[in-house]
Amino acid sequence: MPNIQEPKLISGNANLPLANAIARRMSMHRGVHTGLVDARVERFNDGEIFVEVFENVRGEDMFIIQPTSNPANDNLMELLIMCDALRRSSAARITAVIPYFGYARQDRRSKARTPISAKLVANMLVGAGIERVLTMDLHAAQIQGFFDIPVDNLYASPIFALDIRTQFAGKLDDLMIVSPDVGGVARARDLAKRLSAPLSIVDKRREKAGEVAEMTVIGDVTDKTCVIVDDMVDTAGTLCKAAEVLIENGAKEVHSYISHGVMSGPAVERVTKSVMKSLVITDSIQPTDPIKAASNIRIVPTAPVFAQAILNIWNGTSVSSLFEADTLSPIYDGMYAAE
């Protein structure tokens, strides 16, 4: 097997700004210029995807940066075809860096005669030649078990903890972390523990799919600054309704920290008109112009943590060290003050 000398990055079209930001961060961390491998990812007139790599990648440690966000199928196929191109070009190892893992919501059979699409996607990635996956805040942690290859699942909560300590300096005593449903309690509890803040839950009851019939707040949120934490926001209907329920139950103000801003359909309009003071998302999915223009939506960068995680994978050091705020603070280069 050829010696692996340098980590090399290549990107599809799903989130080029993030890929370029990761490359810049890696250059800063190493003191050596790191750029994206020169390649083209194009489509024939009938929509077929074509990939051509213009640089020699034989024996190299390759990292494909490609979230499988909207359009999920196109971006997933780009990832698979890029992997095939690299494998046939004798790359030594191929790691898929998937900041947002599409199809993650289909992680179990919720009804009879339905697929487990997350497992299917895992099989496709492994079959294409992916040898390792790096992602962030999987919708369900057990998806790691769908793979027979190593999966490194980063967390946004340490970044959010740094951001909250900065944004709510002097107000941390009034903070209440809120899970928008019972399924997200573990994620919210982790952030609450990092901030030494109490935890509340919004329990929602559905009469049929897609419609929330009733919401109940578990915990006293009176005069509290509530921070809703979740892994993704899609149409934002449930999120905005949860914010309203918290205000009705006496909350002073409501903010939200969401890992992946899917923001489909009327999401931006709903958030803009909602009672939420702010919605904070990461750039794991490339934000649209309406998201950037929204007055109460803010974006925190993930490039620093992904760049360091890639370097740690490349040089064989710990990725789990990035779960701690003490490690992240210097990586974020003064953006947030150290504790």
Q: What does the pLDDT read at residue 337?
A: 54
Q: 160: Cβ–Cβ under 8 A, 6 or more apart, which residues?
A: 191, 229, 257, 280, 300
At 134, give phi and psi (nearest 5°).
Answer: -120, 120
Determine if the peptide bond prior to 301 is cis (ω within 30°). Answer: no
Distances (CA, A) of 96 to 12, 33, 290: 11, 21, 29
Express each pLDDT in 90-104 by its tens digit: 999 999 999 999 999
At 1, the pLDDT band (50, 70, 90 cuts) reads very low
Q: What does the pLDDT read at residue 105?
A: 93
Residue 208 belongs to what H/E stretch?
strand 199-208
CA proximity to 41, closest of 65, 12, 15, 18: 12
Q: 249: Cβ–Cβ under 8 A, 6 or more apart, which residues?
A: 217, 221, 222
Q: What does the pLDDT read at residue 2?
A: 46
Express each pLDDT in 290-335 by its tens digit: 999 999 999 999 999 999 999 999 999 999 999 887 788 888 866 7
Is residue 252 part of the annotated active site? The answer reads: no
42 forms bridges with which residues in the sheet? 50
Q: Is 186 exposed, middle or buried (0-12, 13-18, 19+ CB in 10 A)?
A: exposed
Q: Is the pLDDT of residue 213 over 80?
A: no
Give this prediction's pTM: 0.93
**Alpha-carbon dihedral sign for residues 204, 205, 209, 210:** negative
Q: Is the pLDDT of residue 204 over 80?
A: no
| Residue 42 token pair | 């194009």
Catalytic residue among 8, 119, 204, 252: 204
| Residue 155 token pair | 């967390």
Express each pLDDT in 9-44 by its tens digit: 999 999 999 999 999 999 988 888 899 999 999 999
